[in-house]
Structure formats: structure tokens, C-alpha cells
Structure 1
Amino acid sequence: MKLLKVLFLLLTILILGGATFYTGNEYVKMKEKVEELESEKEEQLAEQQLELEIHQMKTYIDHIPEGYDVSGYDTWLHAKHVADYLYEDSEGRFDRNWGKFLALEAERKGIDPFLVYELLKVETGGMFDPETVGPETKYGHAYGLAQFMKNTGPWIAEMAGLPYDDEMLFDPYYSIQLSVTYLDFLYKEYEDWDYALTAYHRGMYGLEAYIEENGHAASWYAVEIQENAEQASLVAVE
């Protein structure tokens, strides 16, 4: 009888232990399934948010070329991160929407967005006023965030696949897109940022004159923009 009781007790323990083990396995599986569903839900919400923000961007920027898109949610998050930094660094002068657009345009061309931002900072004296009009020169005035002249704006706009009108130079999105397009063109032409930036500042003929006079292309303009862009990049990723 004692032996039967012991066997019964052992059997009960085994059954209960097995049930507990089974229940534990089911709980783990259920938890994993819930986590998987939550992850899928977060991804769907993220994609919906991305689509909404891209749609909103297209409603306030009427110069985006046909087929404009971004390469994914990670790129969009990076653009927002860059935009937040530019907004803070400029003390609110550089609109967050401008920053997102700048980051996305730079991403498309493989250009450091901070390089473009620092260029626009120099061109506008740190004020980022889209209505900026530069001093009069023998070639005329320069206009907008990126300080394009009326004799260069049209062919850069054509290169970017955009329409052109003098008044468009005061549109911040238009100026940003032209600046990225022109920087991309200059860098491909020279494969050196000292050359590209000095050419942006002085013109391509002015670059040749600068090199002839100084023996190099590292103007104060090119050096300052690159150094500040590198510093901004380091701070922004902290």
C-alpha cells in the first residue's frame, strides 16, 4: 500500500510538472506571437506615418520632380533628426520642413546635408532669410537662401529638371534644391570639395583665377564650410 501511495505521488508530480512545462512553453510561444504582432503593428504605423509626411511635404513643395521618393523609413527618420539639429543650431531660423527637405535632397545626391546647411549659413550671414538679396556686383545681385544670380539660376534649374522664374529664387525649397543640384554638378566636375565650394562662391572662372593667384583651391569659404559641417555632423550624432 505504501508503495502504491509513493507511485501515485510520483505520478502526480510528473503529471503536474509536465503540465507546468507545457503551460510554460505555451506561454513563451504566446508571448513571442504577441511581440511579433506588436512589432508588425509598429512597422505598419511607421509606414503610414511616412506616407502621410511625404504626402504633406508634397502639398507644401510644388517644385518636386515627378517620381520623387525617399529610400525608406530609416532615411526619413534620419532626415527628421538632421532637421531637428538644424532647427536648434539656427535658433529656429532654419525651418524644420526645410531641414527635412534638405536632408532628403542631399541623400538623393550622396552629399553631406551639413555641408549644404553650412553653405546656406554663410550665404545668408547665418540669418537663413529666404528673401535675402546680396550686394550689387558687376554681374547683378544674388537672391534667396542659396544666393543664385539671375544669369546662373536658369541653367541650374534646367539641370535640376525644374521650371524657372526669378521669383522662385526666393522660395526656400527651390533654393535648397538648386544648391544641392549645383553642388553635385561641381563636385562631379572637380572631385574635390575645396574646388567645388570655391567655384560655388567665386564661379568656375573665379576658381581658376583663385588657384592661379594662390596655388590652391582651399579658400576661406571652402575651409570654413567643411570644418563647420564636420563639427556639426559629430555633434548631431551624439
Structure 2
Amino acid sequence: MLAHAEKLERDAYLAEYQKIEKATAFFKTDGLDTSFNVEGNGDTWKKAKQVSDALYQDSDGHFEQSWGLYLGLIADQKDVDPFLVYELLKVESGTTFDEKAVGPETKYGHAYGMAQFMTNTAPWIADMAELEYEQEYLFNPYYAIHLSVQYLQFLYDQYEDWDKALTAYHRGMGGLQTYLAENGHAKSDYAVTIQQQARTHDSL
């Protein structure tokens, strides 16, 4: 009975793998990383499924389950808290998770997609993540999720402090330095809110 249940679970994961592989093929031209393979990574997929279910429920269905699975898998690969990324995406999208969002015009241009990346930032993050880049890709939820995880990993590696990493995500690395000079700390409302909200998922 257990073996049958495990087979059904594995088959379900394989179906999701194929769905994600198809959805990301345009920017992951060499295919998904081997760490995404279902065989040998059952525990990782199970954890990602738990993350996906929690985020789908928390968002009232706006954060699609396949997005949550991809987030869970990428976050595990990059050793970033998926709930931190989710709460960042919630803030950036104004709680709508609208993958087609366009931010207001600034002196640097507009920010695009669910993760609100600007065109002066996204290309080098994509390069760091070894992803193809086109501006239109920023409107793809899987792409936005991947870039946001990659950028957060990079920023945390730079600062080893989540207040600084999140404030830099929001204001830019130069903006972080300005904020530090003006306030003496990096505990911006943006950083504090995201971390507080991420901790509400800790029971998972």
C-alpha cells in the first residue's frame, strides 16, 4: 500500500516537473538543473509541495501552485527562505501577484513584473543566474521568481544581513548606503515587514 502511495506521489511530482520544464524552457535553454530531478530528490519535492500549498492558501489562490513549487525548489537550491521571497513578491506586487505589473515611472525607468525588476538591474542578475534575458521575460512569473531568489542570495552574500539585503533589493545597493548614512541602520519598513510576515509561516 505504501509503495503504491509513493508511486502516485512520484508520478504527481513528475507531472509537475514536466509542467515546470515546459514553462521555463524559453529561459532555461539547457533544461532544468539536475537538483530538480524527482528521482533522488523526493524529500525536496515534498517540502516544495508543502510550501506551494501554504502559499496558494495564503494568497487565496493568486499565487499559483506551480509557482510555489518552482519557488520552493529554487529557494532550496539557493539556500534562501522561500517565505521571505514570497512576502517580498507580495509587497512588490501590491499583494496581487500580478505578473504583468508595471511600476510607476522613475528617473531610472519603470519596474516590471511580479518582482518589479528594472532594466538596469535585471540583465546582470540574469547573467549571474545563467539565464537568457529579454525585457519581456520579466513578465513571466517563473522568471521573476528565479531572478528574485538569485538577487536575494547575492545581496545576502554581500551583506550577511537580511535588513541590508532587503533594503538593497528595494532601494538599490547605492540606496542602501544612503539609507544607512541617513538612519544609521538598515531596518527599513520594507525589510522589517517582509521578515515579520515571513516568520508567520514558520510553523510549516
Structure-2-length-normalised TM-score: 0.91
Q: Of 127, 143, 167, which aligns to 1:174?
A: 143
Query: Which of the pair is proportionally richer in helix?
Result: 1
Find the structure with the greater CA-based Rg.
1
Aligned CA-pair RMSD: 1.5
Identity rate of aligned residues, in percent? 54
**Does residue 59 in structure 1 map to residue 28 in structure 2?**
no
- Which fold has the larger relative contact order, with Cα–Cα distance below 8 Å and residues 6 or more apart in sequence? 2
Aligned to 1:202: 171
The farther-off stretch of 54-63 and 215-224 is: 54-63
**2:199 aligned with 1:230:** yes
**Structure 2: tracts of 5 or more residues without a match:** none
TM-score scaled by length of structure 1: 0.79
Provide closer, same or farther for how the CA distance between residues 103 and 129 of structure 1 changes in structure 2, counting only shifts above 3 A.
Answer: same
What is the letter of the counterpart of residue 55 of structure 1?
Answer: Q
Q: 2:126 aligns with which of 113, 132, 157?
A: 157
Structure 1 residues 228 and 137: CA distance shift in structure 2, 3 A:
same
Give runs of ≥4 in structure 1 deviating > 6 Å: none
Show the 5 A alignment for 1:47-126: 47-62=10-25, 63-64=27-28, 66-68=31-33, 69-70=35-36, 72-126=41-95
Please name the residue that 2:100 is paired with: 131
Distance 1:158 1:172 in 2: 18
Q: CA deviation at 1:45?
A: 4.1
The amino acid that maps onto 1:232 is H
Deviates more, 1:197-206 or 1:51-60: 51-60
Which consecutive residues of structure 1, in runs of 5 or more, have no partner in the other structure? 1-37
The answer as to whether partners of 2:16 and 2:66 remain within 8 angstroms in 1 is: no
SS at match of 1:164: coil
> Equivalents in 1 of 2:4, 2:96: separation in Å?
42
Which of 162, 165, 168 aligns to 1:193? It is 162
Q: How many angstroms apart in 2 are the aligned matches of 1:66 and 1:139?
A: 33
What is the number of equivalent residue pairs in this alignment? 198
